[in-house]
Structure 1
Amino acid sequence: MDKTHDLIENLIQTNSIILFIKGSRALPQCGFSRTVVHIFDLMQIPYVTFNVLENGDIRQGIKSYSNWPTIPQVYIDKEFIGGADIITTLYQEGKLQEKIEKVLAH
């Protein structure tokens, strides 16, 4: 599990915005992942996705890493933000855009 934790940590540390999703950015494999990808595409900002369906260790490991039971999981500037419901709410309130603007300004 330590290797998995280290890999997750490295992915989060090296990507300003990373979405751990089921499927790919081009073809999300669940509705919640599709929602999160759609929101980030609407904002037209650079981000990276990681397909947890291709790595069972990370699929389980990300849940214990964040202490969050579901996927997708969104990290912005090394901070766990939440899943689809939280991202949708933050986007609708304009708070997601504010958070991302701060990251992109660095």
Structure 2
Amino acid sequence: MEQELKTKIEDMIKSKKVFLFMKGTPEMPQCGFSAGVVSILKQLQVDFGSFNVLSDMKVREGIKEFTNWPTIPQLYIDGEFIGGHDITVQMAQSGELLKKIG
């Protein structure tokens, strides 16, 4: 991965305590899994940043390489990769997600 792209991704992740790489926007998700994660974050009243990977193919492919995780959405808390939709759902149900967000 080129350094410029890696830095861009790192800067986005650091821009907010909770950051989501998703398809679409929080107001208009473009896939069910992205919509599911947004719904959970909104239910928990979490302030989060996001990036629409459909708007930039370099970031869309780069984020998969960055985390070695093949799918979108990807959720980060405090700069740490948490996971995708299924992991977020499990963590929300167990209460672990809210604890992690603090």
Aligned residue-pair number? 101
- Structure 1 segments of 4+ aligned residues over 4 angstroms from their partners: none
- C-alpha separation in 2, matches of 1:53 and 1:3: 19
Task: Report percent identity of matched pairs.
Answer: 47
- Counterparts of 1:1-106 in structure 2, within 5 Å, are 1-101=2-102
- What TM-score does the superposition give when structure 2 sets the normalisation length? 0.96
Where does structure 1 lack aligned partners over 5 or more consecutive residues? 102-106
Which is richer in helix?
1
- C-alpha separation in 1, matches of 2:22 and 2:90: 18
- C-alpha separation in 2, matches of 1:78 and 1:44: 19
CA RMSD of aligned residues (A): 0.7
Counterpart of 2:51 in 1: which secondary structure?
strand
Where does structure 2 lack aligned partners over 5 or more consecutive residues? none
